[in-house]
A and B are shown apart, each in its own frame.
Chain A
Amino acid sequence: MNVDPRAMKTQAEQALSAAFAAARGTLPGKGAVATLRDDAFQRFDAKGLPHRRVEEWKYTDLRALMREAKPLAGPADAKPKGDIAPILTGVETNCIAIVNGRYEPGWSDFKASDAGVTVAELFKFLGENPGYRLGQVPGGDDPAQWLNTAFMSGGVALRIKRGTVVAKPIHIAHVFSGAGAAAMYPRSVVIVEPGAQVTLIESFSGPEGIDYQVNSALELVIGDGARVDHIKVGCDGGAALRVSTLGVAVGAKATYKDFAFTIGGAVVRNQTFVRFGGEGSEGAIDGASLLKGRQHVDNTLVISHAAGHCTSRERFKSVLDGESHGIFQGKIIVEPHAQKTDGKMMTRALLLSDEAEADNKPELEIFADDVVCGHGATAGALDEGLKFYLMSRGIPATEAEALLIQAFIGEVVEEIAHEGIRDALMFGALKWLGSRA
């Protein structure tokens, strides 16, 4: 067997190999799952952590950013008092808590009033449903995803049965809990059957000051005629490193709306892989990031149109203060037979300091001839003309800036259909603005 002749393993890569060798026999799941793990780890081991010469990871050099691999997180203690995702306080949800990478019913607050909603621990689900094979959604061919597959420790399988319209949002809350740094690898599966509708929140939170690591993955299967509103809320502690992979398979005549809100974490990468596999679907993949200090946040999208007559819209906005670094990579692929595809991508970065950096990399790969696709990107400072207009009406400089930043973010947060979530995130943005001054 030929192995890539690559440089000596980094300290983190060596630690990952050792951790896998040690944990391999005790990680949950037997048979097919164990084979999946071995295979994924081999693929990871051959390539190592992605670095700047790996095009997809160009701006997030994980080999440099992840100096060490933390030990695998152990089970959580009892739930502490208070909300586990404070930014969403006031939003009524059914909450599924995934703590340190394991489903914790004791931390959850799930009162499934809908008969069409079932929740099961991931490996229990896989054991009972041998027909469901993990990794059938797009995004599998990625080093972070291989690591997740190798180390996945738990999560849930959530199924929304055919035609069920779920009233309350379902909230999958990923939490890191503990006094020392560790790594967690949650993996969940959400299956939304034909005609069903659900608003799904995924949140990430953890303590300040602990450099914990998260490598999460979510598989989302959206059936024909279904609608999913997925809102990812990143409120990690300021020292955390998180990579989240979202793979979405969209059926025909479905509606898929995604929003990634990122405010916390030291290094965050949200990578989203979407495949439109049936005709007549609509997708909107949006996001907003508010960054300061030395935060590094990368939103990477790969939108693949494998069937015709689908519409996709991507709109990402970032506000960058301090020495923060915001990255957007968006690729739209239109396969040869996916005629009448309508895909548009827009990113805007607002730089509040001279030291902040925004990188945009839009890509279009179009193999069909009857499509409408486009992209646009801007990056710049606050518009002095607008600020003067507001100040000339008596609004002081800091208040004028806050109003303009709020408006900038508001334009895209408005895309969230659920009013309560929208308001909660806008309120979070306001608090962020307040903390700037």
Chain B
Amino acid sequence: MPLLEVKNLHVEVEDKQILKGLTLTVEKGQVAAIMGPNGSGKSTLAYVLAGKDNYHVTEGEVLLDGESILEMAPDERAAKGVFLAFQYPVEVPGVATMTFLRTALNAQRKHRGEPEFSTPEFLKLVRETSKHLGIDQEMLRRAVNVGFSGGEKKRNEILQMAVLQPRLAVLDETDSGLDIDALKIVADGVNRLRSPERSMIVITHYQRLLNYIVPDVVHVMARGRVVKSGGKELALELEASGYAQFADEAA
């Protein structure tokens, strides 16, 4: 059974139809890239998977391990293993990163009926992961994302992903706003989390990120649907030819 099946998904945001019959399958352990022009519905897909309010599914279904997740609150989906790395991570004044990570991890474990992490185990996990991502201890003591640079915010997303160990990670334009050095650190962090047990959806506008996070499959989205799928070479073709052809096809 595939990990994720999205079937004929129609989604409205503020009475505007954004997804118009999107179908997508992600196998266990697969890294799927989703590319497409601005406005094609990539970020909407990311938010719908995570369960954001005001994204109304009017038709279709989303199955995780064959189970529909559309009726689940965002925290239940997270406990089932869904993780969204935000394109624009929000600042949470007054909540220390460490507190945030621990609260989230233990809430998920509680939901799954697992025991809470012990403090030493938790600290070890966070320390090791943050070291790889170049996140210093001072940053962990600070409020979540407050005063962080764009690159630091993206690294913090990957840190959360590493700590929460999701089964389906959706990375929404993780490359946006990153210079090449920051991009390499983030990609390296993501690659470290690749495993046969974990699937990823890497959403990006540009091929550049896919040099560092090499996908198993590439899907092209246009006008609210997947219009073409192929191997990693498809990303290179797109880089050369642009998205205009798909805009025409979908019309």
**Set of chain A residues within 8 Å of B77, measured between Cβ atoms:** 392
Q: What does the 1/0 interface line of A371-387 toward B look like (CB < 8 Å)? A: 00000000000001110
Residue among A386, A395, A404 having the largest count of chain B Cβ atoms under 10 Å: A395
A395 to B76, CA, bound (A): 9
Please provide the chain A residues from 57 to 94 with a CB less than 8 Å away from any CB of chain B in the complex: none
**Set of chain A residues within 8 Å of B103, measured between Cβ atoms:** 395, 399, 403
Task: Assess whether B2 is interfacial by the CB under 8 Å rule.
Answer: no
CB <8 Å contact, A388 and B52: yes
Please provide the chain B residues from 97 to 120 with a CB less than 8 Å away from any CB of chain A in the complex: 100, 103-105, 107-108, 111
Q: Given known contacts A389-B90, A403-B103, is B53 in contact with A395 (CB within 8 Å)?
A: no
Task: Assess whether B231 is interfacial by the CB under 8 Å rule.
Answer: no
Task: Assess whether A391 is interfacial by the CB under 8 Å rule.
Answer: yes
Task: Assess whether A125 is interfacial by the CB under 8 Å rule.
Answer: no
Question: Among the listed stretches A221-229, A257-265, A277-285, A406-414, which one makes contact with chain B, having 4 or more residues with CB under 8 Å of it?
Answer: A406-414
A386 to B92, CA, bound (A): 7
Interface size on A, residues (CB 8 A): 22
Task: Assess whether A53 is interfacial by the CB under 8 Å rule.
Answer: no
CB <8 Å contact, A392 and B53: no
Task: Assess whether B78 is interfacial by the CB under 8 Å rule.
Answer: yes
User: Taking the nearest CB of chain B, how far is it from the CB of A260, in angstroms?
Assistant: 19
User: Taking the nearest CB of chain A, how far is it from the CB of B29, in angstroms?
Assistant: 22
CB <8 Å contact, B94 and A407: yes
CB <8 Å contact, A393 and B160: yes
CB <8 Å contact, B75 and A397: yes
CB <8 Å contact, B51 and A392: yes
CB <8 Å contact, B94 and A410: yes
Task: Assess whether A390 is interfacial by the CB under 8 Å rule.
Answer: yes
CB <8 Å contact, A388 and B74: yes
Q: Given known contacts A384-B53, A399-B103, is B75 in contact with A391 (CB within 8 Å)?
A: yes
Residue among B51, B78, B84, B160 having the largest count of chain A Cβ atoms under 10 Å: B78
User: Taking the nearest CB of chain B, how far is it from the CB of A392, in angstroms?
Assistant: 5
A394 to B52, CA, bound (A): 13
Task: Assess whether A163 is interfacial by the CB under 8 Å rule.
Answer: no
Q: Which of A385, A397, A403 contacts B95 (CB 8 A)?
A: A403
A393 to B107, CA, bound (A): 9
A408 to B143, CA, bound (A): 12
CB <8 Å contact, A406 and B94: yes
Residue among B93, B105, B160 having the largest count of chain A Cβ atoms under 10 Å: B93
Task: Assess whether A420 is interfacial by the CB under 8 Å rule.
Answer: no
Task: Assess whether A396 is interfacial by the CB under 8 Å rule.
Answer: yes
Q: Given known contacts A395-B103, A395-B104, is B92 in contact with A389 (CB within 8 Å)?
A: yes
Q: Given known contacts A389-B90, A393-B160, A399-B103, is B95 in contact with A407 (CB within 8 Å)?
A: yes
Q: Which of A385, A394, A404, A408 contacts B104 (CB 8 A)?
A: A394
Q: Given known contacts A384-B53, A389-B86, A403-B103, is B75 in contact with A396 (CB within 8 Å)?
A: yes
Residue of A nearest to B143 (CB): A407
**Set of chain B residues within 8 Å of A395, measured between Cβ atoms:** 75, 103-104, 107
Residue of B nearest to A385 (CB): B90
Residue of B nearest to A388 (CB): B52
CB <8 Å contact, A393 and B100: yes
Task: Assess whether B250 is interfacial by the CB under 8 Å rule.
Answer: no
Q: Which of B75, B86, B90 contacts A394 (CB 8 A)?
A: B75
A388 to B50, CA, bound (A): 9
Q: Given known contacts A388-B53, A394-B111, is B79 in contact with A407 (CB within 8 Å)?
A: no
User: Taking the nearest CB of chain A, how far is it from the CB of B102, in angstroms?
Assistant: 11
Q: Which residues of B contact A (CB under 8 A)?
A: 50-53, 73-75, 77-79, 83-84, 86, 89-90, 92-95, 100, 103-105, 107-108, 111, 143, 160, 164
Q: A386-B92, A389-B92, A397-B75 are in contact. List 7 more A-B contacts (CB 8 A).
A: A391-B74, A393-B104, A393-B108, A396-B111, A403-B103, A406-B95, A407-B94
A–B Cβ pairs within 8 angstroms, 27 of them = A384-B53, A386-B92, A388-B50, A388-B52, A388-B74, A390-B92, A390-B100, A391-B51, A391-B74, A391-B75, A393-B100, A393-B107, A393-B160, A393-B164, A394-B78, A394-B104, A394-B105, A394-B111, A395-B75, A395-B103, A395-B104, A396-B107, A404-B92, A406-B94, A407-B92, A407-B95, A410-B94
